[in-house]
Amino acid sequence: MTHLLPVDAALKFSGREVGAAELRLVRQIVSDYPALSLQELSLTICELLDWKRPNGGLMAHECRAWLQALSARGIVALPALRNCGPHGPQRIDVSAPAPETPAGAMSGPAGDLAPLCIQAVPGGSAASRQFRAWLQRFHYLGYRVPVGANLRYVVHSAAGAELACLLWSSPAWSMAPRDGWIGWDAAQRRRNLQYVVNNSRFLILPWVRVKGLASMILAGCARQLGRDWEARYGYRPLLLETLVDAGRFAGTSYRAANWVRVGQTQGRGRMDREHNAVLSRKDIYLYPLCRHVRRRLQTAAAPGSEPRRVFCWTKQE
């Protein structure tokens, strides 16, 4: 176990003072996500602490240098250096050719498509490029390389037809309705937030018009996600969350799949820490993956630091 030096003076990051609470959060992220690259750690820390440039971009380059300096002083213990290729969140090139779409719509009973195949998408593959292109073209939020731990799925029918894609990623830092439902305090949340996984994108392909399919996919993915997440990151999540834009969607599919609506956001970003209301309000839905989930989220020890598999999405992208 690495023993870190105590900090006897205020730290500075790009001219701003880093307090004890923020430093503890930085140390926790570095410790709890050893499978992430230095770039991914930097992006996660910048997003959580809202370290941004005047143009709104994350200060990932500065954060990498700062983390390396702290590591040299024995204040944080960084994972072994890995070359993960291009840095930073990326968007799909909109000038690229649009993905091919079938000539006709797919319809009929959802049961006719069973059993569904919910397949994890490996980075750097043709399936990964198709996944990104579909989200960029057909999802109203587009596609953005996720920060931190994540899983991507493409769903196929029993006959092999492509039906949908889902992206699971890091949870919102703080949401009062969710945190009130769990009943944890700030220290418990800092320790165990990574047991929560966010369904940040869910897209039924526009030519697939099958009633009841979305809830069937959500139920199947919830059954599969735990073991897939554990295989990649070394621990099982306990709770799923998602945010549904109340101005666009009624959340019918989530309710049909037994997700529970616990309230609404205040109209801030998922990682907002400055209480600047700039976004539309969203319904918050939760789905427990185990019994006594609230008690476990309050009392569980933080996930182990030894990953079962080292994985770097930015290298694959």
Domain extents in the chain:
11-72, 110-316
**pLDDT for 61:** 80
**pLDDT for 103:** 55
Q: What is the mean pLDDT of residues 268-276?
A: 52
Q: What is the mean pLDDT of residues 240-262?
A: 94
Q: Which of the four pLDDT bands, split at 50, 70 and 90, describes residue 275?
A: low
Q: What is the mean pLDDT of residues 150-156?
A: 94
Asked if the model's pLDDT at residue 222 lies above 50, the reply is yes
Residue given tokens 């599969």 in the structure block: 224
**pLDDT for 44:** 86
Asked if the model's pLDDT at residue 278 lies above 60, the reply is no
Q: pLDDT by residue (tens digit) across 56-89? A: 778 888 888 888 888 888 888 887 655 444 444 4
Q: Indicate the average pLDDT of the chain.
A: 81
**pLDDT for 27:** 86
**pLDDT for 311:** 38
**pLDDT for 191:** 87
**pLDDT for 4:** 55
**Which DSSP helix (H) or strand (E) runs through 154?**
strand 151-156
**pLDDT for 57:** 76
Q: pLDDT by residue (tens digit) across 11-43? A: 788 777 888 888 888 888 888 887 788 888 888
**pLDDT for 85:** 45
**pLDDT for 99:** 53
Q: Which residues contact 102 (CB under 8 A, 6 or more apart)?
A: 207
Q: pLDDT by residue (tens digit) across 107-145? A: 888 999 999 999 999 877 888 889 999 999 999 999 887
> How far is residue 97's CA from residue 50's CA, in Å, rounded to a whole number?
35
Strands 11-13 and 162-169: unpaired
Say what the pTM is.
Answer: 0.68
**pLDDT for 308:** 39
* Strand-by-strand arrangement of the 117-120 sheet: 117-120, 151-156, 162-169, 196-204, 239-245, 282-288, 260-264
What percentage of the chain has pLDDT greater than the value 90? 42
The reply to whether CATH 3.40.630.30 applies to domain 110-316 is yes
Asked if the model's pLDDT at residue 168 lies above 90, the reply is yes
What percentage of the chain has pLDDT greater than the value 70? 79
> How far is residue 197's CA from residue 268's CA, in Å, rounded to a whole number?
19
Q: Which of the four pLDDT bands, split at 50, 70 and 90, describes residue 233?
A: confident
Q: Which long-range contacts (CB under 8 A, 24 or more apart) does 20-26 make?
A: 22/49, 23/75, 24/190, 25/49, 25/190, 26/67, 26/70, 26/76
